[in-house]
């Protein structure tokens, strides 16, 4: 009786650790994309910077509102799809330029 309970506990613990790791990757990816956008790098480069740090299957959204760049990264939790949660992180950085280069939101998905 104790062995099946222990197996379920260990599986739940491993899933929680993988989900926490993926959440941290989402936060890092959003920050990387926001930094790249704030440095006036092209949109494609900022999205690629976020995507390279994001977990697999993540969706990256890059938008500019006035003098702020917003990057949002959303990814499904790793592991069994029966526990379907969406992990998300958002980072905001002030734009270094004052031009209207990035006016309007742009959404790019994998």
pLDDT-based confidence at 98, cuts 50/70/90? low
Report phi then psi at 18, rounded to 5: -65, -40
Residue range 45-59: mean pLDDT, rounded: 92
Residue 10 has pLDDT above 90, yes or no: yes
Burial 89-105 (b: 16+ CB within 10 A, else e): bebbbebeeeeeebeee
Of 1-5, 55-59, 82-86, 93-97, the range with the lowest mean pLDDT is: 82-86
pLDDT-based confidence at 67, cuts 50/70/90? confident
Q: Do residues 60 and 29 make contact, with C-beta atoms less than 8 angstroms apart?
A: yes
Bridge-based pairing of strands 86-94 and 68-76 is: antiparallel
Residue 24 has pLDDT above 90, yes or no: yes
Please tell me whether residue 13 adopts helix, strand or coil conformation.
helix
* pLDDT at residue number 82: 64
Beta-carbon count within 10 A of 54 CB: 26
Residue 14 has pLDDT above 70, yes or no: yes
* pLDDT at residue number 100: 45
What's the pTM value of the predicted model, to 2 decimals? Answer: 0.77
Beta-carbon count within 10 A of 29 CB: 25
Q: What is the biggest distance separating any 2 CA atoms in the chain, rounded to whole angstroms?
A: 66
Residue with tokens 């790019």: 108
Distances (CA, A) of 57 to 2, 12, 20, 84: 36, 22, 16, 13
């Amino acid at each position: 009786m104790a062995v099946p309970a222990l197996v379920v506990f260990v599986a739940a613990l491993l899933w929680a650790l993988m989900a926490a790791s993926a959440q941290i990757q989402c936060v890092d990816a959003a920050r990387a994309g926001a930094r790249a956008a704030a440095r006036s790098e092209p949109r494609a480069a900022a999205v690629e910077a976020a995507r390279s740090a994001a977990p697999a299957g993540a969706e990256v959204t890059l938008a500019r509102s006035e003098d702020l760049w917003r990057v949002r990264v959303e990814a499904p939790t790793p592991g069994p799809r029966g526990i379907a949660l969406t992990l998300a992180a958002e980072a905001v950085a002030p734009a270094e330029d004052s031009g209207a280069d990035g006016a309007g939101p742009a959404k790019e998905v994998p």
